Structure 1
Amino acid sequence: MESFLGQLAATSFLEGIAVALALAYVWLAARKNIWCWPCALLSTGIYTWLFWSVSLPFHTGLNFYYLIMAVYGLIKWRNNPADTFSVQSWSISRHVICITGLTIGALTLSHFASRVLDANYIHLDAFITVFSVFTTVLVAHKVRENWLYWIVINLFAAYLYFAKDLALTGILFVCYTGFAVYGFIQWRIAPVKVKGQADTI
């Protein structure tokens, strides 16, 4: 407990800002609000630097990727030709194929990375990164099951962040798990308003 409280006390101002913006992102995304993407852009910019400073190379690269996806997601949600598009749902077999491929990819990546990088939790870092890259694409394309992926990813990520003395970020990802459940409920298979018709907070 003392160690945990010590981690919270040592939380940097930048990490606090990143956490606040990240919370805003997931809340707005769950409510299908396009302003989630600007929040994601700012938050991931900060986290790119933070993760590099604590030797999480895959997470550093992941957050740089999030920067790009924040721009892509904003464009995707704003410039849909019909101004609205529906939440999608994939078949179980399609998800099984994707999960199998992602697991193989994560195992391969972590195997080779462990030979050249001297970093703790390299295997967990790789798994979280590979699945997060895929799941972020699902968010941008409004595939409802993205939230189920995030539930698992967030729990593993919370463990990793606590282990890396990023206590506030660990708490954030525990909260993300609850938001993921909320998001799955909110993203019913129905038309989603975008471009001038976004939901209010």
Structure 2
Amino acid sequence: MIDLLSTSNILVHIPVGSGGYDLSYIEAIGTICGLLCIYLASIEKTINYLFGLLNVSLFAIIFFQINLYASLMLQVFFFIANIYGWYAWTRVKEGTQEVELKTRWMSAPKLITTIIICAVFIGLLTVYIDPVFKVLTDIVVNGLNAVGFNITMPELEPDAYPFWDSTMMVLSIVAQILMTRKYVENWIIWVIINLISIVIFSLQGVYAMAIEYAILTFIALNGVKMWQKSAKENGSKPLSSINS
């Protein structure tokens, strides 16, 4: 099992980019779970959260092995968000008026508030991204060492794309939260995140991940279509339709 979870346990060599790309078993399994999670979420299947939990758990192990501790911390957030989303999607209290969460569009106040929050946090993180990730890395490394691990504090290089990296991180958190509440806008945000990811990963020479996010873009576009239809059936309309 330990060997299976190692990034050095290579499943296949993919001839892309300079020197190709060695795809490990754990990355392959984690990626498949991630794709299944997004696809099942796009058709509103609650079991998507099971694959989401597997995906973030495996990716957390990967990030731990390659010393990306801030990314590991983000997976912890996604793990908690997946558990909450599973609960929120299936919560129905017997003997009360509370019903199952329905797919819908955001109201104008919520949408405006979300846009402002995103803009503020993207701006702040762009300026302070390096010290923020240093603090997150210190927290994770010291926490792991406190429970028996022996990890050397890594030397962090300055972020290559602070604005775009900050944008992807903030929007990913917001999109995940909106998905747990079944707001259609979450898929629009995922499309934006995936398009940015394709460009950044291509510039960094990580072509396999760029291809993965291209696939995720099409799944997210399908999510927009499917959830828009579902929201319409629930009597919810986008703001442009309401105002027209």
TM-score > 0.5 by shorter chain: yes
Identity of aligned residues (%): 18
- The reply to whether residue 36 of structure 1 matches residue 74 of structure 2 is no
Give the letter aligned to residue 30 of structure 2.
Answer: A
Which residue of the other structure, out of 38, 58, 83, is the alignment partner of 1:26? 38
- The reply to whether residue 103 of structure 1 matches residue 122 of structure 2 is yes
Q: Which has the higher contact order (CA 8 A, sep 6+)?
A: 1
Aligned residues: 191
The secondary structure found in structure 2 opposite 1:89 is coil
Distance 1:95 1:103 in 2: 12
- The reply to whether residue 182 of structure 1 matches residue 222 of structure 2 is yes
Q: 1:115–1:42: structure 2 CA closer, same or farther, 3 Å change rule? A: closer
Distance 1:75 1:156 in 2: 30
Give the letter aligned to residue 51 of structure 1.
Answer: F
Give TM-score, length-normalised by structure 1: 0.80
Residues 31, 186 of structure 1: 8 Å contact kept: yes
The secondary structure found in structure 2 opposite 1:87 is coil
Residues 110, 122 of structure 1: 8 Å contact kept: no
Distance 2:197 2:46 in 1: 25
What pairs up with 1:116-155 in 2 under 5 angstroms? 118-119=156-157, 120-121=159-160, 123=162, 124-155=164-195
Task: Give the equivalent residue in structure 2 for 1:65.
Answer: 77
- The reply to whether residue 170 of structure 1 matches residue 210 of structure 2 is yes
Higher helix proportion: 1
Give the letter aligned to residue 52 of structure 2.
Answer: A
Residues 70, 133 of structure 2: 8 Å contact kept: no
Residues 88, 101 of structure 2: 8 Å contact kept: no
Distance 1:36 1:158 in 2: 23
Give the letter aligned to residue 91 of structure 2.
Answer: N
Q: 1:31–1:2: structure 2 CA closer, same or farther, 3 Å change rule? A: closer
Q: CA deviation at 1:55?
A: 4.2
User: For the aligned residues, what is the CA RMSD?
Assistant: 2.8
Residues 85, 180 of structure 2: 8 Å contact kept: yes
Tell which deviates more after alignment, 69-78 or 159-168: 159-168
Unaligned runs of 5+ in 1: 193-201
Distance 2:197 2:45 in 1: 25
Give the letter aligned to residue 118 of structure 2.
Answer: I
